[in-house]
Chain A
Amino acid sequence: MQVGLEVFLGLAAVLFALGLYGAISKKSAVMVLMSLELMAVAVNINLVAFSRFLTPEAMTGQFFTIFTMVVSAAEIGLGLALVLAIYRQSRSIELAGMNRLKG
């Protein structure tokens, strides 16, 4: 049995939708960051699948994936550092408590 491109796109869409749900609904900052990682990974699956099926010689999608991995690694490092800084300030990582800038 052979698996086509659309199956990979479907899997990535499901993973991205799950990550989107988590990023919106979760109330812990770390859980939101985890959901963001899930969405980044879903995008990477899309890029690699397109690269494999449509541009196998140029491997454009694989290079794009390398760069999105760099960006999401930077994002997760900064995000977790921010979570730690916020925790040190307010002893909590609940997103509901982060409203000190509200007028």
Chain B
Amino acid sequence: MPETVNGVVFGILALASIGGAVAMLTTRNVIHAAFWLLEVMLAVAGLFLLLSAEFLALVQVLVYAGAVSVLMLFVIMLTLRRREDAIRPLDASWGAAALALLFGAIIYVGVAASSFTLGAMPDEVPDVEALGTLLFSLDGGWVFPFEIASLVLLVALVGAVWWSKEEDR
């Protein structure tokens, strides 16, 4: 069965992610912004599903929508002294907007000038089982980068605990 990306589903998810990102940047309430980020993460998980990356979609929901958003909310609420502090100015900046537009234009020119075989999507993709086998195989697999990544996470975790612990005076 040939797998194709459904244009309607893609349109909905693209609209959800871009709209959520715009809402995140334009809302004045920091807590609302965190929830918009959560919505963007869920929409991106849907996009991963469209690209037949089921494992990554699951990880996206677990890590970004689950852990990161909750961590964001925790830090926002820990660093608010009054309820009114959640409302912030818009921080609009023409310079930043110009830079972002310039970046988008460069990407557009780059994609338009690229010689990738764009368009057609291969019919058959390996499933999650193949991904796991390749991830943990020694020859030609990704097991050493995987172990290094786990070390990075461990060091970052210890560092985060060290930084955020109450210092004893």
Contacts and interface: CB of A to CB of B under 8 A. Distances in A.
Interface of A: 1-11, 13-22, 24-28, 30-31, 33-35, 37-38, 41, 44-45, 48-49, 51-54, 56-59, 62-63, 65-67, 69-71, 73-78, 80-85, 87-88, 91, 93
Contact of B22 (A10, A18, A41, A73): A18
A81 B157 CA distance: 10
30 contacts: A2-B5, A3-B4, A3-B5, A4-B119, A8-B47, A8-B51, A10-B108, A11-B14, A15-B17, A15-B21, A17-B107, A20-B99, A37-B37, A41-B40, A48-B48, A51-B51, A52-B121, A59-B126, A62-B53, A65-B56, A69-B56, A76-B72, A77-B157, A78-B159, A80-B164, A81-B164, A84-B79, A84-B163, A85-B164, A88-B166
Contacts of B63: 69, 73
B13 to A, nearest CB: 9
Contacts of B157: 74, 77
Contact of A9 (B33, B88, B111): B111
Nearest to A33: B72
Interface string B26-67: 000010011001001100100110011101100110011001
